[in-house]
Amino acid sequence: VGTVAVRTGGPQAPISADVVIVGGGPAGSTAALYAARADLQVVVVDRGLDAGALGQTGIVANFPGLPPMPGPEIVRALRQQAERFGARFLTGQALGLQPREGGFSVLTSLGELRARGVIAATGATGRAPAVPGEAELLGRGVSSCATCDGPFFRGRRVAVVGRTEEAAEEALLLAHLAEAVELVVPGDLPVGPHWQALVVHPRVRPHPRHSLKAILGDGAGVRAVRLRGPGGERELPVHGVFLYLQGRRPVTDWLQPVLAPGPDGCLAVGPGYGTAVPGVFAVGDVLCTEVKQAVIAAAQGAEAAIQAERWLRGRSGPRPDWR
Ligand SMILES: Cc1cc2nc3c(=O)[nH]c(=O)nc-3n(C[C@H](O)[C@H](O)[C@H](O)COP(=O)(O)OP(=O)(O)OC[C@H]3O[C@@H](n4cnc5c(N)ncnc54)[C@H](O)[C@@H]3O)c2cc1C
Protein backbone atom coordinates (compact mmCIF):
# COMPACT_ATOMS: atom_id res chain seq x y z
CA VAL A 1 0.00 0.00 0.00
CA GLY A 2 1.38 3.40 -0.88
CA THR A 3 0.65 4.64 2.63
CA VAL A 4 1.99 8.11 3.34
CA ALA A 5 3.67 8.50 6.71
CA VAL A 6 3.54 12.24 7.27
CA ARG A 7 6.44 13.67 9.27
CA THR A 8 5.58 14.31 12.91
CA GLY A 9 6.92 17.10 15.13
CA GLY A 10 6.44 20.73 14.21
CA PRO A 11 3.19 22.29 13.03
CA GLN A 12 1.76 21.01 9.74
CA ALA A 13 -0.67 22.75 7.44
CA PRO A 14 -4.16 21.26 7.81
CA ILE A 15 -5.11 18.70 5.17
CA SER A 16 -8.61 19.17 3.76
CA ALA A 17 -10.92 16.60 2.21
CA ASP A 18 -14.62 15.98 1.69
CA VAL A 19 -14.52 13.00 4.02
CA VAL A 20 -12.00 11.93 6.63
CA ILE A 21 -12.21 8.27 7.53
CA VAL A 22 -10.57 7.28 10.79
CA GLY A 23 -9.49 3.64 10.69
CA GLY A 24 -8.41 1.71 7.62
CA GLY A 25 -9.57 -1.82 8.45
CA PRO A 26 -12.24 -3.52 6.34
CA ALA A 27 -14.90 -0.98 7.43
CA GLY A 28 -12.82 2.13 6.80
CA SER A 29 -11.11 0.91 3.63
CA THR A 30 -14.39 -0.13 2.05
CA ALA A 31 -15.94 3.22 3.01
CA ALA A 32 -12.93 4.86 1.34
CA LEU A 33 -13.44 2.79 -1.81
CA TYR A 34 -17.10 3.77 -2.13
CA ALA A 35 -16.55 7.43 -1.23
CA ALA A 36 -13.62 7.77 -3.66
CA ARG A 37 -15.60 6.16 -6.46
CA ALA A 38 -18.36 8.70 -5.79
CA ASP A 39 -15.75 11.35 -6.62
CA LEU A 40 -15.32 12.60 -3.07
CA GLN A 41 -11.90 13.64 -1.81
CA VAL A 42 -11.09 11.00 0.79
CA VAL A 43 -8.37 10.91 3.42
CA VAL A 44 -8.01 7.85 5.64
CA VAL A 45 -5.90 8.07 8.78
CA ASP A 46 -4.91 4.72 10.27
CA ARG A 47 -2.46 3.53 12.90
CA GLY A 48 -0.94 0.83 10.72
CA LEU A 49 -1.56 -2.18 8.51
CA ASP A 50 -1.46 -4.64 11.39
CA ALA A 51 -2.89 -2.44 14.17
CA GLY A 52 -6.54 -3.52 13.83
CA ALA A 53 -8.47 -6.73 14.40
CA LEU A 54 -8.23 -7.99 10.82
CA GLY A 55 -4.64 -6.81 10.55
CA GLN A 56 -3.77 -9.00 13.53
CA THR A 57 -5.64 -12.07 12.37
CA GLY A 58 -3.73 -15.12 11.16
CA ILE A 59 -5.43 -17.00 8.37
CA VAL A 60 -8.88 -15.76 7.35
CA ALA A 61 -10.84 -18.41 5.48
CA ASN A 62 -14.26 -16.77 5.21
CA PHE A 63 -13.79 -13.48 3.39
CA PRO A 64 -15.94 -13.93 0.26
CA GLY A 65 -14.12 -14.36 -3.01
CA LEU A 66 -10.67 -14.81 -1.50
CA PRO A 67 -8.69 -17.98 -0.77
CA PRO A 68 -7.59 -18.44 2.87
CA MET A 69 -4.97 -15.77 3.52
CA PRO A 70 -3.45 -13.74 6.37
CA GLY A 71 -5.65 -10.89 7.63
CA PRO A 72 -3.05 -8.18 6.87
CA GLU A 73 -3.01 -9.27 3.22
CA ILE A 74 -6.77 -8.70 3.01
CA VAL A 75 -6.40 -5.26 4.63
CA ARG A 76 -3.63 -4.42 2.16
CA ALA A 77 -5.77 -5.48 -0.82
CA LEU A 78 -8.76 -3.44 0.41
CA ARG A 79 -6.59 -0.35 0.87
CA GLN A 80 -4.93 -0.72 -2.52
CA GLN A 81 -8.34 -0.99 -4.17
CA ALA A 82 -9.47 2.26 -2.50
CA GLU A 83 -6.19 3.97 -3.41
CA ARG A 84 -6.67 3.09 -7.07
CA PHE A 85 -9.78 5.31 -7.01
CA GLY A 86 -7.97 8.20 -5.34
CA ALA A 87 -8.35 7.65 -1.58
CA ARG A 88 -5.29 8.86 0.32
CA PHE A 89 -4.07 6.80 3.29
CA LEU A 90 -2.02 8.41 6.06
CA THR A 91 -0.29 6.50 8.85
CA GLY A 92 -1.13 8.23 12.10
CA GLN A 93 -3.41 8.24 15.10
CA ALA A 94 -6.61 10.22 15.57
CA LEU A 95 -6.53 12.00 18.91
CA GLY A 96 -9.62 14.20 18.88
CA LEU A 97 -12.59 15.54 16.96
CA GLN A 98 -13.77 19.15 16.92
CA PRO A 99 -16.67 20.76 15.13
CA ARG A 100 -15.74 23.71 12.94
CA GLU A 101 -17.69 25.88 10.53
CA GLY A 102 -18.93 23.70 7.69
CA GLY A 103 -17.56 20.48 9.10
CA PHE A 104 -15.06 18.95 11.47
CA SER A 105 -11.40 18.90 12.44
CA VAL A 106 -9.92 15.52 13.15
CA LEU A 107 -6.88 16.12 15.33
CA THR A 108 -4.21 13.54 14.68
CA SER A 109 -0.59 12.74 15.44
CA LEU A 110 0.09 14.16 11.95
CA GLY A 111 -1.74 17.43 12.50
CA GLU A 112 -5.23 18.61 11.64
CA LEU A 113 -7.43 16.92 9.02
CA ARG A 114 -10.46 18.98 7.95
CA ALA A 115 -13.55 17.56 6.34
CA ARG A 116 -17.26 18.12 5.95
CA GLY A 117 -17.98 14.52 6.91
CA VAL A 118 -16.25 12.00 9.15
CA ILE A 119 -16.57 8.22 9.19
CA ALA A 120 -15.41 6.55 12.40
CA ALA A 121 -14.08 3.04 11.71
CA THR A 122 -11.60 2.57 14.55
CA GLY A 123 -12.70 -0.93 15.53
CA ALA A 124 -12.35 -2.36 19.03
CA THR A 125 -9.40 -3.38 21.18
CA GLY A 126 -9.10 -6.66 23.00
CA ARG A 127 -7.51 -7.50 26.32
CA ALA A 128 -3.76 -8.01 26.35
CA PRO A 129 -2.76 -11.71 26.40
CA ALA A 130 -2.50 -12.60 30.08
CA VAL A 131 -2.39 -16.40 30.31
CA PRO A 132 0.95 -18.19 29.82
CA GLY A 133 1.02 -19.65 26.31
CA GLU A 134 -1.77 -17.39 25.03
CA ALA A 135 0.35 -14.91 23.07
CA GLU A 136 2.62 -17.62 21.62
CA LEU A 137 -0.28 -19.78 20.45
CA LEU A 138 -2.63 -17.01 19.25
CA GLY A 139 -3.75 -17.96 15.75
CA ARG A 140 -2.29 -21.46 16.21
CA GLY A 141 -5.12 -22.88 18.27
CA VAL A 142 -5.98 -19.90 20.46
CA SER A 143 -8.91 -17.84 19.20
CA SER A 144 -11.80 -15.71 20.36
CA CYS A 145 -14.09 -16.24 17.39
CA ALA A 146 -15.87 -19.55 16.83
CA THR A 147 -17.54 -18.24 13.68
CA CYS A 148 -14.08 -17.50 12.26
CA ASP A 149 -12.05 -20.45 13.50
CA GLY A 150 -14.52 -23.11 14.69
CA PRO A 151 -14.47 -25.03 11.37
CA PHE A 152 -10.70 -25.60 11.81
CA PHE A 153 -11.56 -27.78 14.84
CA ARG A 154 -14.21 -30.00 13.29
CA GLY A 155 -14.10 -33.37 15.06
CA ARG A 156 -11.42 -32.21 17.53
CA ARG A 157 -11.43 -31.25 21.22
CA VAL A 158 -11.65 -27.59 22.22
CA ALA A 159 -11.91 -25.55 25.40
CA VAL A 160 -14.14 -22.50 25.77
CA VAL A 161 -13.24 -20.15 28.61
CA GLY A 162 -15.61 -17.49 29.92
CA ARG A 163 -19.00 -16.86 31.48
CA THR A 164 -20.57 -14.24 29.19
CA GLU A 165 -23.55 -14.78 26.89
CA GLU A 166 -21.12 -14.56 23.98
CA ALA A 167 -19.08 -17.42 25.48
CA ALA A 168 -22.22 -19.54 25.79
CA GLU A 169 -23.34 -18.86 22.21
CA GLU A 170 -19.90 -19.59 20.83
CA ALA A 171 -19.68 -22.79 22.88
CA LEU A 172 -23.01 -23.94 21.40
CA LEU A 173 -21.70 -23.33 17.89
CA LEU A 174 -18.51 -25.24 18.70
CA ALA A 175 -20.53 -28.11 20.18
CA HIS A 176 -21.91 -28.71 16.67
CA LEU A 177 -18.44 -28.83 15.14
CA ALA A 178 -16.05 -30.22 17.74
CA GLU A 179 -15.78 -33.71 19.17
CA ALA A 180 -15.96 -32.27 22.71
CA VAL A 181 -16.12 -28.86 24.34
CA GLU A 182 -14.47 -28.35 27.72
CA LEU A 183 -16.43 -25.40 29.12
CA VAL A 184 -14.24 -23.58 31.62
CA VAL A 185 -16.30 -21.15 33.71
CA PRO A 186 -14.52 -18.86 36.18
CA GLY A 187 -17.17 -18.79 38.91
CA ASP A 188 -20.57 -20.43 39.14
CA LEU A 189 -22.45 -21.43 36.02
CA PRO A 190 -24.55 -18.46 34.88
CA VAL A 191 -28.27 -18.90 34.34
CA GLY A 192 -29.90 -18.22 30.98
CA PRO A 193 -31.25 -20.15 28.02
CA HIS A 194 -27.88 -20.65 26.31
CA TRP A 195 -26.27 -21.89 29.52
CA GLN A 196 -29.16 -24.30 30.19
CA ALA A 197 -28.75 -25.75 26.71
CA LEU A 198 -25.00 -26.07 27.21
CA VAL A 199 -25.00 -27.96 30.47
CA VAL A 200 -27.20 -30.73 29.02
CA HIS A 201 -25.41 -30.88 25.67
CA PRO A 202 -23.87 -34.34 25.18
CA ARG A 203 -20.59 -32.93 23.80
CA VAL A 204 -20.12 -30.25 26.45
CA ARG A 205 -18.33 -30.84 29.75
CA PRO A 206 -18.83 -27.87 32.09
CA HIS A 207 -16.06 -26.99 34.58
CA PRO A 208 -17.59 -24.35 36.87
CA ARG A 209 -15.37 -22.50 39.38
CA HIS A 210 -12.26 -23.24 37.31
CA SER A 211 -9.71 -20.74 36.03
CA LEU A 212 -7.34 -21.07 33.10
CA LYS A 213 -3.75 -21.15 34.35
CA ALA A 214 -1.86 -21.95 31.13
CA ILE A 215 -2.24 -22.97 27.51
CA LEU A 216 0.22 -25.69 26.58
CA GLY A 217 1.53 -26.33 23.10
CA ASP A 218 4.39 -25.97 20.69
CA GLY A 219 5.07 -25.22 17.04
CA ALA A 220 2.39 -27.75 16.06
CA GLY A 221 -0.30 -25.85 17.98
CA VAL A 222 -2.25 -26.22 21.20
CA ARG A 223 -1.89 -29.50 23.11
CA ALA A 224 -3.74 -28.92 26.40
CA VAL A 225 -5.04 -26.42 28.92
CA ARG A 226 -4.04 -26.29 32.57
CA LEU A 227 -6.94 -25.44 34.89
CA ARG A 228 -7.20 -24.68 38.56
CA GLY A 229 -10.41 -25.55 40.37
CA PRO A 230 -11.71 -26.57 43.80
CA GLY A 231 -9.87 -29.90 43.48
CA GLY A 232 -6.50 -28.38 42.51
CA GLU A 233 -4.73 -28.17 39.16
CA ARG A 234 -5.17 -30.50 36.20
CA GLU A 235 -4.53 -30.64 32.47
CA LEU A 236 -7.12 -31.34 29.79
CA PRO A 237 -5.99 -32.32 26.27
CA VAL A 238 -7.47 -29.96 23.64
CA HIS A 239 -6.50 -28.71 20.17
CA GLY A 240 -8.18 -25.33 20.36
CA VAL A 241 -8.90 -22.74 23.07
CA PHE A 242 -11.58 -20.08 22.61
CA LEU A 243 -11.21 -17.22 25.09
CA TYR A 244 -14.06 -14.92 26.12
CA LEU A 245 -12.53 -13.57 29.28
CA GLN A 246 -13.17 -9.91 28.76
CA GLY A 247 -15.11 -8.17 26.05
CA ARG A 248 -13.47 -6.06 23.38
CA ARG A 249 -13.91 -2.31 23.85
CA PRO A 250 -14.80 0.00 20.98
CA VAL A 251 -12.12 2.62 20.24
CA THR A 252 -14.08 5.85 20.80
CA ASP A 253 -11.75 7.98 22.95
CA TRP A 254 -10.84 10.27 20.05
CA LEU A 255 -14.53 11.07 19.40
CA GLN A 256 -15.21 12.46 22.84
CA PRO A 257 -16.69 14.84 23.90
CA VAL A 258 -18.31 15.60 20.50
CA LEU A 259 -19.74 12.12 20.46
CA ALA A 260 -19.91 10.21 23.71
CA PRO A 261 -20.58 6.48 23.84
CA GLY A 262 -23.25 5.10 26.15
CA PRO A 263 -22.43 3.59 29.56
CA ASP A 264 -21.67 0.27 27.83
CA GLY A 265 -18.98 1.99 25.74
CA CYS A 266 -21.03 1.63 22.57
CA LEU A 267 -21.88 4.31 19.99
CA ALA A 268 -25.48 4.57 18.84
CA VAL A 269 -26.18 4.94 15.12
CA GLY A 270 -29.37 5.34 13.16
CA PRO A 271 -30.27 4.11 9.68
CA GLY A 272 -27.36 4.58 7.27
CA TYR A 273 -24.89 4.49 10.18
CA GLY A 274 -25.34 8.18 11.01
CA THR A 275 -24.52 9.09 14.61
CA ALA A 276 -26.26 11.66 16.79
CA VAL A 277 -23.99 14.32 15.22
CA PRO A 278 -25.02 15.03 11.61
CA GLY A 279 -22.09 14.40 9.29
CA VAL A 280 -20.42 11.86 11.56
CA PHE A 281 -20.95 8.21 10.66
CA ALA A 282 -19.68 5.10 12.47
CA VAL A 283 -19.16 1.59 11.11
CA GLY A 284 -17.58 -1.77 11.89
CA ASP A 285 -16.45 -3.11 15.24
CA VAL A 286 -16.56 0.37 16.79
CA LEU A 287 -20.30 -0.33 16.95
CA CYS A 288 -21.39 -3.03 19.34
CA THR A 289 -22.94 -5.11 16.60
CA GLU A 290 -23.61 -8.65 17.69
CA VAL A 291 -21.77 -10.30 14.82
CA LYS A 292 -18.24 -9.07 14.26
CA GLN A 293 -16.93 -10.21 10.90
CA ALA A 294 -14.76 -8.54 8.30
CA VAL A 295 -17.36 -8.87 5.55
CA ILE A 296 -20.01 -7.26 7.75
CA ALA A 297 -17.69 -4.39 8.69
CA ALA A 298 -16.94 -3.90 4.98
CA ALA A 299 -20.64 -3.85 4.10
CA GLN A 300 -21.31 -1.25 6.79
CA GLY A 301 -18.46 0.87 5.43
CA ALA A 302 -19.97 0.72 1.94
CA GLU A 303 -23.38 1.82 3.17
CA ALA A 304 -22.03 4.63 5.35
CA ALA A 305 -20.03 6.01 2.41
CA ILE A 306 -23.12 5.99 0.20
CA GLN A 307 -25.13 7.78 2.89
CA ALA A 308 -22.29 10.24 3.57
CA GLU A 309 -22.12 11.12 -0.13
CA ARG A 310 -25.89 11.78 -0.18
CA TRP A 311 -25.65 13.88 2.95
CA LEU A 312 -22.66 15.91 1.70
CA ARG A 313 -24.33 16.66 -1.60
CA GLY A 314 -27.64 17.53 0.02
CA ARG A 315 -29.66 14.68 -1.39
CA SER A 316 -32.32 12.82 0.58
CA GLY A 317 -32.11 9.20 1.61
CA PRO A 318 -32.60 6.19 -0.64
CA ARG A 319 -35.88 5.62 -2.46
CA PRO A 320 -35.90 1.95 -3.42
CA ASP A 321 -37.71 1.35 -6.70
CA TRP A 322 -39.04 -1.99 -5.46
CA ARG A 323 -41.48 -0.34 -3.03
C1 LIG B 1 -8.45 -12.77 16.72
C2 LIG B 1 -9.51 -12.38 15.71
C3 LIG B 1 -9.77 -13.21 14.64
C4 LIG B 1 -10.74 -12.87 13.70
N5 LIG B 1 -10.96 -13.70 12.66
C6 LIG B 1 -11.87 -13.33 11.72
C7 LIG B 1 -12.12 -14.17 10.59
O8 LIG B 1 -11.51 -15.24 10.43
N9 LIG B 1 -13.05 -13.74 9.69
C10 LIG B 1 -13.75 -12.57 9.84
O11 LIG B 1 -14.56 -12.23 8.98
N12 LIG B 1 -13.55 -11.78 10.90
C13 LIG B 1 -12.64 -12.13 11.84
N14 LIG B 1 -12.46 -11.35 12.94
C15 LIG B 1 -13.27 -10.15 13.09
C16 LIG B 1 -12.79 -9.02 12.16
O17 LIG B 1 -11.38 -8.94 12.22
C18 LIG B 1 -13.43 -7.72 12.57
O19 LIG B 1 -14.84 -7.86 12.67
C20 LIG B 1 -13.11 -6.64 11.55
O21 LIG B 1 -11.72 -6.51 11.38
C22 LIG B 1 -13.69 -5.29 11.98
O23 LIG B 1 -13.32 -4.35 11.05
P24 LIG B 1 -13.12 -2.83 11.45
O25 LIG B 1 -12.65 -2.14 10.21
O26 LIG B 1 -14.34 -2.32 12.11
O27 LIG B 1 -12.00 -2.83 12.57
P28 LIG B 1 -10.45 -3.23 12.52
O29 LIG B 1 -10.18 -4.32 11.58
O30 LIG B 1 -10.07 -3.42 13.94
O31 LIG B 1 -9.76 -1.93 11.95
C32 LIG B 1 -9.75 -0.75 12.72
C33 LIG B 1 -8.63 0.13 12.21
O34 LIG B 1 -8.69 1.36 12.95
C35 LIG B 1 -7.38 1.77 13.24
N36 LIG B 1 -7.42 2.63 14.41
C37 LIG B 1 -7.86 2.34 15.65
N38 LIG B 1 -7.78 3.42 16.45
C39 LIG B 1 -7.28 4.42 15.67
C40 LIG B 1 -6.98 5.78 15.91
N41 LIG B 1 -7.18 6.37 17.08
N42 LIG B 1 -6.48 6.51 14.89
C43 LIG B 1 -6.27 5.96 13.67
N44 LIG B 1 -6.55 4.66 13.39
C45 LIG B 1 -7.05 3.92 14.38
C46 LIG B 1 -6.59 0.48 13.44
O47 LIG B 1 -5.25 0.72 13.12
C48 LIG B 1 -7.26 -0.47 12.44
O49 LIG B 1 -6.55 -0.51 11.23
C50 LIG B 1 -11.48 -11.67 13.87
C51 LIG B 1 -11.22 -10.82 14.95
C52 LIG B 1 -10.25 -11.18 15.88
C53 LIG B 1 -9.98 -10.26 17.03
SS3 content of the chain, % helix, strand, coil (to 5): 30, 30, 40
CA distance 303 to 272: 6
CA distance 213 to 177: 25
Protein residue with least CA distance to atom 37, ligand 1: 122
- Give the model's pLDDT for residue 320: 53
| pLDDT tens digits along 10-37 | 457 899 999 999 999 999 999 999 999 9
**Does 57 score more than 90 pLDDT?**
no
- Read out DSSP for 93-154? -EEEEEEETTEEEEEETTEEEEEEEEEE---EE-PPP-STTHHHHBTTTEES-HHHHGGGGT
| pLDDT tens digits along 187-243 | 999 988 889 999 999 999 999 999 999 999 998 999 999 999 999 999 999 999 999
- Which atom of ligand 1 is closest in space to residue 93's alpha carbon? 42
Is 148 a residue of the active site? yes
* Ligand 1 mean position, distance from CA 290 (Å): 15
Strands 59-60 and 69-70: antiparallel
CA distance 249 to 270: 20
- Tell me if 26 sits within 8 A of 297, measured CB to CB: yes
* Ligand 1 mean position, distance from CA 35 (Å): 20
Any atom of ligand 1 within 6 Å of the Cβ of 94 = yes
Any atom of ligand 1 within 6 Å of the Cβ of 93 = yes
**Does 276 score more than 50 pLDDT?**
yes
Protein residue with least CA distance to atom 44, ligand 1: 46
* Ligand 1 mean position, distance from CA 292 (Å): 9
* Residue 7 pLDDT class (50, 70, 90 cuts): very low
* Ligand 1 mean position, distance from CA 28 (Å): 10
3-state secondary structure of 170: helix
Is 145 a residue of the active site? yes
- Give the model's pLDDT for residue 237: 98
Is 321 a residue of the active site? no
How confident is the model over 244-267, as a mean pLDDT? 84
**Probe residue for ligand 1, chosen from 4, 30, 34, 54 as the CB with the greatest number of ligand atoms within 8 Å:** 54
The whole model's pTM is what? 0.83
| pLDDT tens digits along 106-163 | 999 999 999 999 999 999 987 777 899 999 998 899 998 999 999 999 999 999 999 8
CA distance 111 to 223: 48
**Does 319 score more than 60 pLDDT?**
no
pLDDT > 70 fraction of the chain, expressed in percent and rounded = 93
Protein residue with least CA distance to atom 2, ligand 1: 57
* Residue 6 pLDDT class (50, 70, 90 cuts): very low
Any atom of ligand 1 within 6 Å of the Cβ of 297 = yes
| pLDDT tens digits along 72-114 | 999 999 999 999 999 999 999 999 999 999 999 999 999 999 9
